């Protein structure tokens, strides 16, 4: 057993156990997951999962850090403040982890295949406007948790598709490609087949299709030039 004390002054005991994978009947064949910021996860079933709101804790941390910067180095107050910040940060990360754990359990438990997108997280974090929100959302954690849980249940698979797959730029009904969409566009109308879809749900259906094709050793060719196909119009909605 290992006893760990973290910077927030909390103690943990860790030990290793050996387990046998369990068998749980999946409800669905597969699910595609589109990870985002306003909506943490959009599932190909049409479900939208919102992340738990930790804004109050976030404000508290930022306020504490500002105070810490002004405090006298080496003072007792500074030490206390540092532990208080660490505690709040630990609480915030616990809330997020708990949420992501439950989400991953449900995704892997209900579906025989979970398809995620390989996101360039480190590249995106360089975008300063989005950095905090992206790091906080814990996309990487969701993927790691899904993969770990898939190992604990028999006949489960987690597939990660390439980030270059045009999942948001393709109609999930007919395969028509309309190209890159601006992030503010939330709903798309396909002029080829007439389907009007939510941007994220459309992407998650494409993610699922790409993952299943990958699983069967096929390559899903989205490049399907349709003769006479017209560029798709986008209906602009209020960003949620």
Q: Which residues bind Zn ion (CB under 5 A)?
A: 171, 173-174, 176, 190, 192-193
Active site residue 117: yes
Q: Pick the catalytic residue: 89, 117, 165, 214?
A: 117
Active site residue 200: yes
Q: Which is nearer to Zn ion, 133 or 173 (CB)?
A: 173
Active site residue 98: no
Q: Pick the catalytic residue: 34, 89, 176, 214?
A: 34
Shortest distance (Å) from residue 194 CB to Zn ion: 7
Q: Which is nearer to Zn ion, 130 or 189 (CB)?
A: 189
Segments in the chain forming alpha helices (H): 55-70, 76-110, 121-125, 128-137, 139-152, 199-215
Angle between helices 76-110 and 139-152 in degrees, nearest 10: 50
**Do the beta carbons of residue 47 and residue 201 sit within 8 Å?**
no
Q: Pick the catalytic residue: 165, 176, 200, 214?
A: 200
Query: How far are the Cα atoms of 53, 62, 105 from residue 59, in angstroms, in the given order?
Result: 12, 5, 30
Report the relative pairing of strands 157-161 and 111-117 from DSSP bridges: parallel
Shortest distance (Å) from residue 172 CB to Zn ion: 8
Shortest distance (Å) from residue 116 CB to Zn ion: 24
Q: Which is nearer to Zn ion, 37 or 230 (CB)?
A: 230
Q: How far apart are CA 102 and CA 225, in angstroms?
A: 41
**Do the beta carbons of residue 204 and residue 211 sit within 8 Å?**
no
Q: Which is nearer to Zn ion, 42 or 192 (CB)?
A: 192
Q: How far apart are CA 156 and CA 150, in angstroms?
A: 5
Shortest distance (Å) from residue 173 CB to Zn ion: 4
- Which of 36, 7, 84, 31 lies closest to 199, judged by CA? 36
Active site residues: 34, 117, 200
């Amino acid at each position: 057993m290992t006893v760990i004390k973290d910077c927030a002054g909390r103690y943990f005991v860790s030990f290793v156990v050996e387990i046998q994978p369990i068998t749980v009947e999946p409800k669905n064949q597969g699910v595609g997951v589109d990870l985002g910021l306003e909506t943490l996860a959009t599932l190909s079933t049409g479900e939208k999962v919102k992340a738990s709101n930790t804004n109050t804790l976030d404000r508290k941390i930022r306020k504490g850090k500002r105070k810490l910067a002004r405090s006298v180095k080496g003072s007792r107050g500074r030490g206390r403040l540092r532990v208080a910040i660490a505690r709040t940060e630990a609480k915030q990360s616990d809330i997020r982890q708990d949420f992501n754990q439950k989400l991953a359990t449900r995704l892997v438990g209900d579906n025989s295949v979970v398809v995620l997108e390989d996101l360039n997280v480190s590249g995106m974090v360089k975008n300063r406007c989005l950095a905090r929100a992206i790091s906080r959302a814990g996309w990487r954690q969701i993927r790691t948790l899904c993969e770990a849980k898939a190992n604990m249940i028999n006949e489960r698979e987690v597939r990660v598709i390439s980030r270059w797959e045009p999942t948001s730029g393709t109609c999930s009904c007919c395969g028509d490609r309309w190209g890159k969409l601006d992030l503010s566009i939330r709903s798309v109308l396909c002029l080829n087949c007439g389907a009007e879809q939510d941007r994220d749900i459309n992407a998650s259906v494409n993610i699922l299709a790409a993952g299943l094709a990958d699983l069967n050793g096929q390559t899903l060719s989205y490049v399907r030039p349709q003769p006479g196909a017209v560029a798709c119009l986008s209906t602009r909605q209020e960003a949620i």
